[in-house]
Chain A
Amino acid sequence: GAGVSQSPSNKVTEKGKDVELRCDPISGHTALYWYRQSLGQGLEFLIYFQGNSAPDKSGLPSDRFSAERTGGSVSTLTIQRTQQEDSAVYLCASSSTGSEKAFFGQGTRLTVV
């Protein structure tokens, strides 16, 4: 596609429910990142995929968070048993091999009520 696509753009869920957030990176980009951004805050690193290497999961805040990337393309971030503190904008970015320029999607705004 022309850019990084994330879906849904907005998600309201009840506390305790599971949610899945999707990211379609730019075609051919080998690196994919997930970040979380609370209102007025910085970008908190969650997880990083690079090609076929094992993902860097060091930023995942708890074992309720997991992510996968199928076929080196689409990625899904799953949050189980959502809590109110999970409310934030979840941003996905991708970059090509050897490039330091990351392209971001518009994000998914998650609200846990």
Chain B
Amino acid sequence: GQSLEQPSEVTAVEGAIVQINCTYQTSGFYGLSWYQQHDGGAPTFLSYNALDGLEETGRFSSFLSRSDSYGYLLLQELQMKDSASYFCAVSSVGGATNKLIFGTGTLLAVQP
């Protein structure tokens, strides 16, 4: 089976940098994704890592270490609108299918 662990809550101030970690256990690992979900909204895709290293998209960066089964999402220059839940998700290959399994999510609170 698959399991993912993330911190349940993180608090930071506007303008700061925050890192949300994700460790996973899965068979047939294919890649690690990150999604953002505002309260009452739908999850939206942020980034994806299939290979080790850092992927940068504007203020957001995502890192993957396949050997450590670990990744993180880095949010820079935090804004109030970044207050949301952040989910890591693994794409795993099982048989003929490649499904997406989510972690339990990290609630980020950005304070003024």
A residues in contact (CB < 8 Å) with B: 31, 33, 35, 41-43, 45, 48, 50, 53-54, 56, 91, 93, 100-107
Contact = CB atoms under 8 A, between A and B. Distances in A.
Interface string B72-110: 000000000000000101010011111111111100000
Contacts of A33: 99-100
Contacts of A43: 43, 87, 89, 102, 105
Residue from the set B30, B41, B45 with the largest chain A CB neighbour count within 10 Å: B45
A102 B105 contact: no
B42 A91 contact: yes
A106 B40 CA distance: 9
A35 B45 contact: no
Dominant secondary structure of chain B at its interface with chain A: strand
B55 to A, nearest CB: 12
Size category, B interface:
20 to 34
A104 B42 contact: yes
Nearest to A99: B48
B45 A103 contact: yes
Contacts of A42: 87, 102-105
